Each structure stands twice: as C-alpha cells, then as structure tokens.
Amino acid sequence: MKMKSAAERVVACLLAVSLAAAPLPGWADQSRDQAVPKPVNKGAAVQPAGPPMPLEKAIAIAREKVPVPADLDVFNSDYHEYGGKGRWNLHWKSSKPPESSMHAAINAVTGEVESVHLYKGMIQGTYYKGLPAFSRDQCLEIARKEGSRLLPDKFSSTVLAPREEWRPPVVLRDREYPIIYDFYFKRTFRGIQVADQGINIGVNAETGEVVRFDCNWDLEAGLQSPEGRISPEQARKIFVEKSGFELTYFLPHRGDPDTPGELKLVYRLKPPGRFVLNALTGEVLDQAVDIFFGDLGGGGGEPMYSRMAEAKLAPAESRAVRETRDLISADRAQEIAQQLVEIPREYTATGRNLERQYAVPGSRLWTFFFSDSEKKKSIRVSLDARTGGLISFNKDERFDFADYYKEPQVKINQEEAGKIAWDLVKKLQPVRSGQVELRKSEPEIGPWVKLGRPVPRAYTFHYARMVGGIVYPENGFRVRVSSSDGEVLSYNMTWWDTEFPKPDGVIGAGRANDIFLAEHPLTLEYGRGHRRYVPEMDAPPAYYLVYRPSGSSTLMLDAFTGREIDYSGEPVVRKGKQPFTDTAGHPAEDDIMLLAGEGIVTGDGGKFRPDDPATVAEVLAMLVKAYSGRGPYYPLDKGKDDPWYKQVVESALAKGILDKDFTFDPESGLNRLQLARLGMNAGGWGKLARISRIFRLEAADAGSIPAEYRGYVAAAVGMDLLPLENGKFNPGGGVTRAEAAIFLVKLLKH
C-alpha cells in the first residue's frame, strides 16, 4: 500500500474535523485505506459530499405521506447508496410497552416512498377473535387507494396479480396477531407484466390500516420491445408440438404411506414439467435458461411375547407388528448389502435403519451406512427388507469447497456414461429393465463451469416405468455416473407392484391441452432469466419476453374428466373464484361468499342451493371447517363404502361440536333448536349453556322448548344469532343453507 504524504495526512485530519462538526447524519464506516478526496482549491473549506436530499426533507415527506403514530417517540435514521441510487431509512419506535415501530424508506433522489412497515404491539393476554372487521375485498380497495395515493404514476401501470397463499391466514379462531391481507400489484410495460417488479401492500383486516408497503421497480431493467413477437396462435402450436400433456400414472399423496389411495390416470405436462417460450425467437427456454417469475428392526423375537404384546395393541399398532414379522434380520441384510455393493476394506459400518421407501406403499427397507476411517467418504446401501433385493446405493464424498470448485477431468462422455448406466440396470434387474424407457439424461454442472464450456462432473439418467404404453414417472431407475472414470456413483430403483387402472374412457391428449389452455391461456410476460452454465458475474440475469401458461402450470388433469386435481388427487378449488350461479342478489350472498372465500362452503355443480333445507351433516361440515383453527383437524380413515360425512361426524365429536347426548340423522333437515345447540358447542359455550336454570328466555313459545335446550336457545337469541320471529323462537322450524351461512358468520364474529 502506498504511504500517504504529510500533506495528505493534514487534509485527512481537516476532513475528519469537518465531518465531525457537520450537522449531517451518521455514515457507514469508511475503510482506513480509502483515498481521501483532495480539495479543489487549497484555501477552500473541505465540504463532504452528502445525500442528494437532506434528512429533514425525507422526514417531512414520510410524515406527509404516512402519518407517524404519536406513541412512536424514539427516532433514528440511516442512509444507503448503491449503484448511484440512495435512500433514507427512517425508523420510529415506542419507548413504552406495548412495543410498536414503523420503518419508512424514502428515495433520496425522487422523494418517493419505497417502503413502509408498521408494527403495533398488543397488550399481553389480549386476542383478536372471530372474523376481522374488514373483508378481503374491503382490504383490497384500501390497498388500491393507498397505492394510488403514494405512487400514482407507478401504480397506474400495475395490475393485481393473483397469488396463491402458501397457507391462507386463519381467520376463524382466537389469535394473538391480526389478520393481514397482502396484495401484489405487478408492474406492466406496454401492457405486459414484468416479473419480480411491482408494489406489495399489506392491510390489517382488523383495523383497515396499511401496515406493509414495498415497491420494487427497476427503470433500468432493459426490457425488450414486444414488437416482432410471435403470435399467440404460433405459441400455442409450439406448446402442443414440443410440450403439452401426456397420459401418466400417478399415486396421490396421502398422510400415511402405507394406506395409499388408488393409482390414478392423469395428464401432466411433459418434462421438464413447465412451458416457457421466448416470444421473440420461438425458443423453448427451459433447456438453456432458468426463468424466474417470483410467483413447487427385523425378524426373530419370541413368539409368546409377540402374541402377548399384540393383544394389548391398537389395530394400527398390531398391523405394524405383523408387517415387521416377515423381514429378514438386520445382520443378514448387512451381509447381503456387502455382497451386492463393493465396500472397501478400510470402511466400517456406522449405522443401520429400518425405513419406508417413498412412493412405494407398504415398503420396508434396511439401510446401511459405511464410512472410511477419516469420515470423508461414505457409502449408503438400501435393501428390500423382505426380499433382500438391492434398492439403492450412493457413494458420497464429503469434499471441501476448494476441491469442489476445481474443474473435473472429463474422460467419459454422456453417451459412454449412458451405456454404463444401462448395463448396470440390465444386470441388476434383467426383467424390469425391459419395462422402462429413458426419460431424461442430464449432466451435473456446478460452480467450476467456465463461460461457454459446461464441464460435467457426472451424468444422471432417469429410466421411467412404462405400463401398457403409459408412463409412470415416479417408478423406474435413476443412475448417476462419474465423468472422470465411469464409476457408478448412485443407483436407485422405485417399483410398486400393484394394479394399474385401464385407460378405457380417458380423454385424449388433444382434449387435455384444450382444457388446460382454456383455463390457463398462454400469456406474455417479462421473466427474469439466468443462462445456465454461465457464471452470474459474467452474465447477470436479464429479462426475457416469454409466453407461458397463466397461473400454476404444475398441475394435473384427471384423465377421465379433465378436471384439475392437486397432489392429493382432490379437485382444485381456487380461492376467490367461487362458481356459484344461484347466489347473485340473494340476501345471504355476502355471507355465502365470505364463507366460500375461506373454503368453508363449496358449491355443487356450480350451485350453492341457498334456499334448500340444510341437513345436519352439511351444517356440521361447515362448523368443523370453520373451527379447525382451534385445534388440529384429523379426518379419520374413510372406508370404501362409508358415507361422505363419516369423517365430519367423527371430527365434530372430537371437537365437542357434537355432544354425546345429541341424537340426530345426518341426512335429515336441521331445525332451529338443533342449530342453536351445535352453534353454542362450536363457539365454546356449550358447557355453560347446559346449565339451563341460569338462563331466562323471553319468547312467546318458551314453554315448548325442552328444558335441556333452554340455555342454548337463550344464548343464541341473546347473541342475535337466531332472532325471534314475531316474538317466537319456533324451535321446530327448518333451516335453509343460506340461513345456516348467515348464522355461522354471526357466530364467527363473536
């Protein structure tokens, strides 16, 4: 490092004194070795370069745009600048409990409010209860109003982006924190949406306050002109020809891997499972560019002891015990593992587990771990615990990063590696190898890659199982082969011997494509992409103009009905899009839509049937869903011939919504007397309501109400859940589905 001259040291001292005396905010620490700027004129006072906007102006803007709560009496600030862009970060907080705070970021050049975060603490022991004061739609209107007020120019160039919540907020139980609805308004450029840019606004549904406001807007993103793009018709043609749907087998995901649902025939997008098309070149980008949109113990034992223990076990426990009786012993399985997979002499066994294999219901695996003396290399081997057949092995090397970043010495190309992989599959599984086809092969590229020279460390090959010409992607073989010496680094077989449904009556792939594109049309969007195999420092992410299906493309279609289903095999119901055709203008419309938006009620063939009599089972289903937030909701196993409401009734009993003295017919109509009792139980007041002598019921027909129901009815009337009709309660009066919805919304607000 070059030593500073005496004159430079004097200037540095003067500058330090000047900075200390200047009435400017604190700066980030400067490096001691940073060159000190020289004054323009020797005799002139040294003036430090400051932010383009003084702090007091930033505070004034913040207070004008976003009023600061009076109780936030502690303040501090900091200033950040990067790439020529600066912003003031302003922080307020309360000095007294409950702790509250607000943070605001002000663009130091434009004066725009870039972000606001407001947090209000709650007094310990207080809770929010029932439905929030503002609905989701009301919060959306608040968000629109505030977005237009804070950033009118930018907000006018946004569209509300539908966004699936990872876990919808629970609004139907007591909660320590307020419900906050977030809305994302995505930026558009020439009418086309831009990924990762826009304005996010969070609204407190309890108070109607905006508590989050974040703007991400890059005017220098280099968005390509949309002129010259291919037409939607051309994009659709490419989708059908190069991607589109294929008929596959699929096993729905269940809570218990040993009690799976039945295999289904579904249509899924062909690999890689999504479609992103360069709208200017017609290139399918998934192969070269990653595009981001910012929107996936064994055997033996004493027979007598086993019989004695089983007599005391629950049915599920007894089943598990029976399943482990036919397993080979751990010692014998380890012997087989060491015969099937070469374990170096210096390796020792370090562990063994009895496990299940994913996607193979009822499977049991013995898995063994071997490691070298230095614990730098290990081998894992898994066998079928019943047959001793090899299921998988993996040779893992615990590398250090210095070695990992070195460029591999490639001596085996992809074609040669593929032959090695296929020879191993045929050797280990001569019969099953004839029932698969090569689904995908790809090189393993890592951080050692050079610009324009993708050097693979290994190759992975996926052979998918074929059943009657239909692919079952989750079954088959995966083999990974080293590019330096051709060694097989890992092998895995997934194979479930079961009955496969016949494809008789399935819709065609063309029809599946039409259904999918009708619901998810190909839309233009700017996506942020990064070229694979190119270091980011050499090729930073750029924006691409692309066509892609709107909404989620990681879905499946039932091959017989064409309806969208999720990974549990259930129909997809999108929040906020309830296809009720018979509720418009109905007095209960708002309440029905509110419950529908929370997933508490669903339609039947596109209809809600608001004026139909409500059955006991239907109302129980509403109450169970509404109050699942008060505790876990564990539906019990449903037998093949069980009615749909079996799980509902069992859950209602477990939650106390149904009490043991309540007699009913699930499929019969519900009366007002029963509704009062179920509602009080669901709300947690059932124990009190049973003490009938403490309640006074002022109704003309009070004498017709059984004594054991008097407390339930008096509470329901007093809380205005079931108001009197002409001075009478009318206990035997029927309840419509719309009336049940109105009752439930009132109940949830208490």
The pair of structure tokens assigned to 198 is: 């826009």
Domain boundary among 219, 254, 288: 219
Answer yes or no: do 256 and 173 share one domain: no
Answer yes or no: do 594 and 735 share one domain: yes
Answer yes or no: do 213 and 236 share one domain: no
**DSSP 8-state assignment for residue 670:** P
584 within a domain of the structure (yes/no): no
Count CB atoms within 10 A of the CB of residue 361. Answer: 16
Answer yes or no: do 151 and 277 share one domain: no
pTM: 0.67
Q: Which helix (H) or strand (E) segment is 479 a member of?
A: strand 470-482
Measured distance CA(454)–CA(443) in Å, rounded? 9
Answer yes or no: do 561 and 603 share one domain: no
- Coil, strand, or helix at residue 117? strand
440 within a domain of the structure (yes/no): no
Question: Among 68-72, 165-169, 468-472, 564-568, which is the least confidently predicted range?
Answer: 165-169
Measured distance CA(25)–CA(360) in Å, rounded? 63
Answer yes or no: do 521 and 664 share one domain: no
Domain boundary among 219, 254, 271: 219
376 within a domain of the structure (yes/no): no
Which residue in 440, 489, 432, 443 sits closest to 466, CA to CA? 432
pLDDT tens, residue by residue, 699-716: 999 999 999 999 999 999
* Residue 365 CA neighbour count, 13 Å, CB half: 23
- Coil, strand, or helix at residue 179? coil
**How many domains does the structure of the chain reveal?**
3
Residue 547, class by beta-carbon neighbours within 10 Å (0-12 exposed, 13-18 middle, 19+ buried)? buried
The per-residue pLDDT for 444 is: 87
67 within a domain of the structure (yes/no): no
324 within a domain of the structure (yes/no): no
Q: Kindly provide the residue ranges of all beta strands, DSSP E only, lying in 550-670, ordered along the sequence.
A: 556-558, 564-565
The per-residue pLDDT for 550 is: 86
The per-residue pLDDT for 221 is: 83
Answer yes or no: do 283 and 200 share one domain: no
Domain boundary among 549, 565, 581: 565
pLDDT surpassing 50 at residue 42 = no
Answer yes or no: do 632 and 716 share one domain: yes
- Give the domain extent around 513: 232-296+506-565
Measured distance CA(680)–CA(559) in Å, rounded? 44
Q: How far is CA 696 from CA 335, 343, 399, 675, 692, in A?
A: 78, 82, 77, 19, 9
pLDDT tens, residue by residue, 465-501: 999 999 999 999 999 999 999 999 999 999 998 899 9
Measured distance CA(672)–CA(670) in Å, rounded? 7
Higher local confidence (pLDDT), 543 or 43: 543
Q: Which helix (H) or strand (E) segment is 686 a member of?
A: helix 686-689
Answer yes or no: do 597 and 646 share one domain: yes
185 within a domain of the structure (yes/no): yes
Measured distance CA(187)–CA(526) in Å, rounded? 10
pLDDT tens, residue by residue, 652-681: 988 899 988 888 899 999 999 999 999 999
326 within a domain of the structure (yes/no): no
Answer yes or no: do 597 and 740 share one domain: yes
Answer yes or no: do 601 and 661 share one domain: yes
Answer yes or no: do 288 and 141 share one domain: no
Q: Phi and psi of 452, rounded to 5°?
A: 75, 5
Question: Among 488-497, 516-525, 567-576, which is the least confidently predicted range?
Answer: 567-576
16 within a domain of the structure (yes/no): no
Which residue in 362, 285, 352 sits closest to 542, CA to CA? 285
Name every residue whose Cβ is closer than 8 Å to that of residue 325 and which is 6 or more positions away in sequence: 299, 301, 306
pLDDT surpassing 80 at residue 359 = no
Measured distance CA(411)–CA(420) in Å, rounded? 13
The per-residue pLDDT for 64 is: 92
pLDDT tens, residue by residue, 258-312: 666 689 999 999 988 888 999 999 988 865 567 777 653 333 333 333 333 334 4
